[in-house]
Amino acid sequence: MAQTEPPIIASDGLPARATGQWVQEKKYYFCRYLDIMSRGVGKKWAGNLSYVDLFAGPGRSVVRSTGEEVEGSPLLALDREFSRYVFVDIPEVLSILKKRLKDHPKASQISFVEGDCNTVIETVRDALPPNHLTLAFIDPTGLQIQFRSLRQLVQNRKMDLLMTIQLGMGVTMNLPHYLRTEGTRLTGFLGNAGWREDVEHGGTASQFASRYLGRYLKELRLVGYSTVREREIDIRNDQNLLLYLMVLASRHPLGSKFWRKATEIEWSGQRRLYPL
């Protein structure tokens, strides 16, 4: 009988999520954007700025290779000047985050929504003040979020999306499975079934990934969002294999401006060079 691995316990005595070293790069760009965005809109939206995290996680991670603890996105967002926070995850994960934050100074500003975000998306909307400017962080571990849920979340809301879009081996390697099972999961994630045409066209895995990304970005444009091409951040694992892209999607030019600012200095400290 297979042995179950013991849970990873953080320094506060509560469970944490195991992760790879790449989490540091994601954290860097996440914090850069939150700082720049919250400062940039602070005067106009003071007291009316919300944050929602659809895959909030337990609040802490531990890097497998080093044992280093890393604060999760909910704790990092709570350090910024948002007036309302909504954290969403499945009950067994969210219960850990609740314990971790029960004595937090901003506890009264937090709403917890238990469940798969696809089934509780209206509850999430109800927890967000409709007149607020909202930043939604959407960081699934796979293809968990369906595009219809995203469309429902942003309807008639002033909301920017900071997203990780799965694009690596997890998608391309599973293509035969998606084809055998009618591809409902991939179709739900993309919001359309056009990816089948991309498979039929053949080509390399990277060519398929490029077409797949194009289809996702097209769906975003159909609900009024643009992204900053050439500012999509590759997040790679410890073997330098692409895991996902980190992307900012906004309906307002300021969102793009803030993302350009956030990404102009790389995690390594080097300045990025982009075409004008």
Distance (Å, whole) CA 276 – CA 267:
21
pLDDT at position 209: 80
pLDDT tens digits, one per residue of 198-214: 777 777 777 878 888 88
In a domain, 6, yes or no: no
Range of the domain at 160: 11-263
Q: What angle do CA 108, 113, 116 make, to 5 degrees?
A: 160
User: Comparing 236 with 105, which gets the higher pLDDT?
Assistant: 105
In a domain, 269, yes or no: no
Q: SS3 for 231? A: coil
Q: Calculate what percentage of the chain has a pLDDT beyond 90.
A: 68
In a domain, 268, yes or no: no
In a domain, 272, yes or no: no
In a domain, 85, yes or no: yes
In a domain, 152, yes or no: yes
Q: What is the pLDDT of the chain when averaged over all its residues?
A: 90
- The domain spanning residue 109 has which CATH number? 3.40.50.150
This prediction's pTM: 0.93
| Token pair 């179709």 in the structure block, residue | 187
Banded model confidence at residue 175, pLDDT cuts 50, 70, 90: confident
Structure tokens at 210: 């490029």
pLDDT higher than threshold 70 for residue 273: no
In a domain, 1, yes or no: no
Alpha-carbon distances, residue 78 vs 6, 63, 207 (angstroms): 29, 22, 39
In this structure, the chain runs to a length of: 276
Banded model confidence at residue 263, pLDDT cuts 50, 70, 90: very high
Closest to 14 in 3D by CA, of 59, 54, 67, 79: 59
Average pLDDT over residues 132-136: 97
In a domain, 276, yes or no: no
pLDDT at position 274: 55
Helices (H), 17-69: 23-45
| Number of domains the chain is built from | 1
